[in-house]
A and B are shown apart, each in its own frame.
Chain A
Amino acid sequence: MKKLLVLSTALGGFALPAMAQEITVMGWGGAYTHSQTEAYLKPFAAQSGIKVNSVDADNPATPIKAQVDAGNVTIDVASVEIADAVRLCDEGLIIPIDAAALPAGADGTAATDDFIAGTLTECMIPTDIFSTVVAYDASKFPEGAGPTTIADFFDLEKFPGKRGVKKGAKATLEMALMADGVPAADVYALLETPEGQDRAFAKLDTIKKDAVFWEAGAQPPQLLADGEVTMTMGWNGRIYNAAVAENKPFKIIWDGQVFEWEGYVIPKGAPNEAAALDFVKFATSSEPLAKAAEYISYGPPRKSSAPLVGNVFGTDVPMSPNLPTSPENMTNALGSDLDFWVDRDTELGERYNAWLVSN
């Protein structure tokens, strides 16, 4: 026993200094990882002295399952979507994080009250609210006569041209129903039923012939820039980034937006759990969340962050109008229902795939 103690102490003594020095954070790449690097990773490293490595994945939820199942976890913190977080949490692949232990908001509100209602879950602390929207190339339409509603996306007569459509059921089916006149509040109740699903696919049928299907978030702005499509579904942050950073004439239609949120999770068996938790606490406090929103147009999930969001980084243009969470953008918005998608993801995904390959 004593021997074991000596041995483990010795090993711990060797291991600890080496391990506490760094954590690995997995993100999605692109402008999104850039915003997190600037707002969370660099300030945290400067403040704590812990080295923060950044790695990217197509969807960090996939490597988490692979690594935990294989018992070889190399990432400490990962950025995942809420639906994946709930699933991973239920399967015990990520650890619970006590939201009550998070720092209070900048205005003194307790963390549990500060986050927008419904966004806090057992294992994930939200970092941003993003949205699937329709965007178009303003130069392809006469001044002031561009599309304005989600229904216009499906109107090939009034607005001819190719459409970029997400190669996946989530958000696509909701948008199809909203374009068909279903109020946002009724979308999921309808999508539960076979009739509702048929109706959504029938609506999609109307643009299938002119659809270009995209898989990765970087594709929609590229498709717009290449003139391959005149209108496309896309993630608002990616569209915004192309419009601002590359000065493209892209406009977002906020009508019919389907918003979701994502956040940080800690995989079970993360090599540096304590440091990872410190990082999550730091990153999801009011100021860093507000700062991230200056780099990418994803809304901060803490209410106390909203007034702290300043101008678009490096300019004197206010960021607020470009955030999905701004009131003027929320008139016809649908919050993605994670329970619905956790249940229906495979079924509707398969049906969507079947629809894709059928003629």
Chain B
Amino acid sequence: MAETTAPLTTADGRPLKAALAKAQSRAKRRAFLLVLPLLLFILLTFAIPIGQMLQRSVYHDGFSKTSPNLAAWFDANPQGTAPDEAAYAALAADLVLMKENRLAGEAGTRINYSVPGTRSLFTASARNADDLTPPFKEALLAADRKWGEPLIWVAMREAASPWTTDFYLTGLDMQRSADGGVEKVAETNRVYLWLYVKTFLLSAVITGICLLLAFPVAHMLATLPMAKANLLMILVLLPFWTSLLVRTTSWIVLLQGQGVVNSVLVSLGIIDESGRLAMIYNQTGTIIVMVHILLPFMVLPLYSVMRVIPPSYARAARSLGATSWTTFRRIYLPQTLPGIGAGVLLVFILAVGYYITPALVGGADGQLFSNQIQFHMTKSNWSQAAALAAMLLAGVLVLYWLYDRLIGIDKLKLG
């Protein structure tokens, strides 16, 4: 047998290898061009905004951009130096700058985040900044005694650089103390840490209830004949297509003190008029309504996985002598795991970030962490909102990582 030593060529005489590589790279380019619009879209509408938001959580130039003189003084004098005449002169010069550029409010707002009650100090002092004469220390202290407070100087030192950890400190229920260290805030003002833990706990409870409710439903949908299953599927999807607000307010109608459920219970004599159940405007309300709203997100992935599990496996197990419980536990359940994983992850992540439902039906104790984010958004404190959002994101990423380690993200099946 004669062996061919000459390289393979295409019909037009080019080496096959080169032709193939060229064709492949063309295909790759084309594929890349096809996904390019989506890539740009995601970059523009997702990656960049989120990046900007995260940057805001550690960056706030409201004070620093209008305090060059103070920044220079802080650079020259280490933490703990008592403010001297030079420091007050720098402050006076910066106040004049603030007045010129109409930035006193913004600068004051930044300091006010750290030391409440100082915003008006800046706006009032800047208004009269042109009248300040040396010695500046006496002049400023005469204008307002607050300028002598160490806390304000600690806050100004921190804010003189636009990069700051102040917003994360607040998110951890901490603040800077007068000596520049870090301390816990007063007990009455601690809200974030506990709420953070509570948000994850409540989300876990909601996810658990969703799973318990959705599993049998999805199983039934998967085993019924197609025609009936489709009809039932519409019942699952119908609430999915209804506006979130409509669903939330209908729950209010059902669950409130004078609502349908309570009235029926009273008229049946199960509870009396004074014993009407508090099922809404509290934590119970948040759980009930959120379970209802998030249920389809659990049913759908479960259904899509159960649909393709061959019934013959379970039959084989039964024929080999397994009890129905053993069959479920060892044959059926493991095969549904990808669906369970997807549903749990989906519902949990959605629940962690929910805010409109807890805001409407949560009352006092049914609030979630995202309601605090919304609070700061409406107070225009975007940096604080960004820091809290980043904390939430970090929590979710940690759970995602755990999930990947324990179950494996490749086992996820969304449908």
A and B interact physically: yes
Asked if A192 and B188 make an inter-chain contact with CB atoms under 8 angstroms apart, the answer reads: no
* A residues 156-207 in Cβ contact with B at 8 Å: 162, 192, 198, 201
- Residue total for A at the interface (Cβ-Cβ under 8 A): 39
Within the complex, which residue of B105, B281, B367, B379 is in contact with A357, where a contact is CB–CB below 8 Å?
Answer: B367
B116 at the interface (CB under 8 A from A): yes
Please measure, in the bound complex, the distance between the C-alpha atom of A100 and the C-alpha atom of B365, giving whole angstroms: 49
Residues of the B chain whose Cβ atoms lie less than 8 Å from the Cβ of A354: 188-191
- Name the prevailing secondary structure of the A interface residues: helix
Q: How many A-B residue pairs have CB under 8 A?
A: 94
Asked if B380 and A61 make an inter-chain contact with CB atoms under 8 angstroms apart, the answer reads: yes
Asked if B188 and A355 make an inter-chain contact with CB atoms under 8 angstroms apart, the answer reads: yes
Please measure, in the bound complex, the distance between the C-alpha atom of A212 and the C-alpha atom of B279, giving whole angstroms: 12
Shortest distance between the CB of B114 and any CB in chain A (Å)? 10
Asked if B257 and A227 make an inter-chain contact with CB atoms under 8 angstroms apart, the answer reads: yes
Within the complex, which residue of B117, B118, B257, B359 is in contact with A215, where a contact is CB–CB below 8 Å?
Answer: B359
A278 at the interface (CB under 8 A from B): no
Within the complex, which residue of B103, B106, B120 is in contact with A342, where a contact is CB–CB below 8 Å?
Answer: B120
Shortest distance between the CB of A197 and any CB in chain B (Å)? 8
Shortest distance between the CB of B199 and any CB in chain A (Å)? 11
Residues of the A chain whose Cβ atoms lie less than 8 Å from the Cβ of B363: 212-213
Residues of the A chain whose Cβ atoms lie less than 8 Å from the Cβ of B281: 212-213
Please measure, in the bound complex, the distance between the C-alpha atom of A191 and the C-alpha atom of B257, giving whole angstroms: 34
Residues of the B chain whose Cβ atoms lie less than 8 Å from the Cβ of A343: 112, 116-120
Asked if A347 and B116 make an inter-chain contact with CB atoms under 8 angstroms apart, the answer reads: yes
Please measure, in the bound complex, the distance between the C-alpha atom of A198 and the C-alpha atom of B188, giving whole angstroms: 9
Within the complex, which residue of A90, A192, A351, A359 is in contact with B105, where a contact is CB–CB below 8 Å?
Answer: A90
Residues of the B chain whose Cβ atoms lie less than 8 Å from the Cβ of A89: 105
Shortest distance between the CB of B283 and any CB in chain A (Å)? 10
A90-B102, A343-B120 given; A350·B189 CB < 8 A = yes
Shortest distance between the CB of A227 and any CB in chain B (Å)? 4
A192-B117, A342-B119, A353-B372 given; A91·B378 CB < 8 A = no
CB-nearest residue of chain A to B198: A357
A162-B257, A201-B188, A227-B257 given; A356·B367 CB < 8 A = yes
A90-B106, A90-B123 given; A62·B380 CB < 8 A = yes
Asked if B257 and A91 make an inter-chain contact with CB atoms under 8 angstroms apart, the answer reads: no
Asked if B106 and A356 make an inter-chain contact with CB atoms under 8 angstroms apart, the answer reads: no
Residues of the A chain whose Cβ atoms lie less than 8 Å from the Cβ of B117: 192, 343-344, 347
A346 at the interface (CB under 8 A from B): yes
B139 at the interface (CB under 8 A from A): no
Residues of the A chain whose Cβ atoms lie less than 8 Å from the Cβ of B105: 87, 89-92
Residues of the B chain whose Cβ atoms lie less than 8 Å from the Cβ of A226: 256, 258-259
B375 at the interface (CB under 8 A from A): yes
Residues of the B chain whose Cβ atoms lie less than 8 Å from the Cβ of A211: 364
Shortest distance between the CB of A190 and any CB in chain B (Å)? 14
Contact mask for chain A residues 86-110; partner B; CB cutoff 8 A; 1 contact, 0 none: 0101111000000000000000000
Please measure, in the bound complex, the distance between the C-alpha atom of A347 and the C-alpha atom of B375, giving whole angstroms: 12
Asked if A359 and B379 make an inter-chain contact with CB atoms under 8 angstroms apart, the answer reads: no
* A residues 332-359 in Cβ contact with B at 8 Å: 339, 342-351, 353-357, 359
B360 at the interface (CB under 8 A from A): yes
Residues of the B chain whose Cβ atoms lie less than 8 Å from the Cβ of A349: 375, 379
A62-B380, A87-B109 given; A357·B103 CB < 8 A = no
Asked if A62 and B378 make an inter-chain contact with CB atoms under 8 angstroms apart, the answer reads: yes
Within the complex, which residue of B103, B118, B123, B191 is in contact with A350, where a contact is CB–CB below 8 Å?
Answer: B191
Shortest distance between the CB of B399 and any CB in chain A (Å)? 22
CB-nearest residue of chain B to A211: B364
Please measure, in the bound complex, the distance between the C-alpha atom of A228 and the C-alpha atom of B278, giving whole angstroms: 11
Asked if A357 and B364 make an inter-chain contact with CB atoms under 8 angstroms apart, the answer reads: yes
Please measure, in the bound complex, the distance between the C-alpha atom of A227 and the C-alpha atom of B266, giving whole angstroms: 15
Residues of the A chain whose Cβ atoms lie less than 8 Å from the Cβ of B375: 349, 353
Residues of the A chain whose Cβ atoms lie less than 8 Å from the Cβ of B16: none
Asked if B378 and A59 make an inter-chain contact with CB atoms under 8 angstroms apart, the answer reads: yes
A92-B102, A342-B120, A343-B120 given; A357·B191 CB < 8 A = yes
CB-nearest residue of chain A to B122: A90
Shortest distance between the CB of B356 and any CB in chain A (Å)? 10
Please measure, in the bound complex, the distance between the C-alpha atom of A346 and the C-alpha atom of B113, giving whole angstroms: 7
B403 at the interface (CB under 8 A from A): no
Please measure, in the bound complex, the distance between the C-alpha atom of A54 and the C-alpha atom of B194, giving whole angstroms: 42
Asked if B379 and A345 make an inter-chain contact with CB atoms under 8 angstroms apart, the answer reads: yes
A212-B363, A357-B195 given; A65·B258 CB < 8 A = no
Please measure, in the bound complex, the distance between the C-alpha atom of A92 and the C-alpha atom of B364, giving whole angstroms: 35
Shortest distance between the CB of B273 and any CB in chain A (Å)? 12
* A residues 66-92 in Cβ contact with B at 8 Å: 87, 89-92
Shortest distance between the CB of A201 and any CB in chain B (Å)? 7
Residues of the A chain whose Cβ atoms lie less than 8 Å from the Cβ of B109: 87, 90-91
Asked if A346 and B256 make an inter-chain contact with CB atoms under 8 angstroms apart, the answer reads: no
A208 at the interface (CB under 8 A from B): yes
B386 at the interface (CB under 8 A from A): no
Of B109, B118, B119, B381, most buried by chain A (CB within 10 Å of CB) is B119
Please measure, in the bound complex, the distance between the C-alpha atom of A283 and the C-alpha atom of B365, giving whole angstroms: 43
Residues of the B chain whose Cβ atoms lie less than 8 Å from the Cβ of A59: 378
CB-nearest residue of chain B to A194: B186
Residues of the B chain whose Cβ atoms lie less than 8 Å from the Cβ of A198: 188
CB-nearest residue of chain B to A162: B257
CB-nearest residue of chain A to B194: A357
Please measure, in the bound complex, the distance between the C-alpha atom of A348 and the C-alpha atom of B186, giving whole angstroms: 13
CB-nearest residue of chain A to B381: A346
Please measure, in the bound complex, the distance between the C-alpha atom of A192 and the C-alpha atom of B117, giving whole angstroms: 9
Sample (25) of A-B pairs whose CB atoms are under 8 Å apart: A59-B378, A62-B378, A87-B109, A89-B105, A90-B104, A90-B106, A90-B109, A92-B102, A192-B117, A211-B364, A213-B363, A226-B259, A339-B120, A342-B119, A343-B112, A343-B118, A344-B116, A347-B117, A349-B375, A350-B191, A353-B191, A354-B190, A354-B191, A356-B364, A357-B191
What are the 10 A-B residue pairs with the smallest beta carbon separation, nearest first? Answer: A90-B105, A347-B116, A354-B191, A227-B258, A356-B364, A343-B117, A91-B106, A343-B119, A92-B102, A339-B120
Additional 17 contacts, C-beta under 8 A, given A228-B258, A357-B198, A357-B364: A62-B378, A89-B105, A91-B109, A192-B117, A212-B363, A227-B257, A346-B379, A347-B117, A348-B116, A350-B191, A354-B188, A354-B191, A356-B364, A357-B191, A357-B194, A357-B367, A359-B365
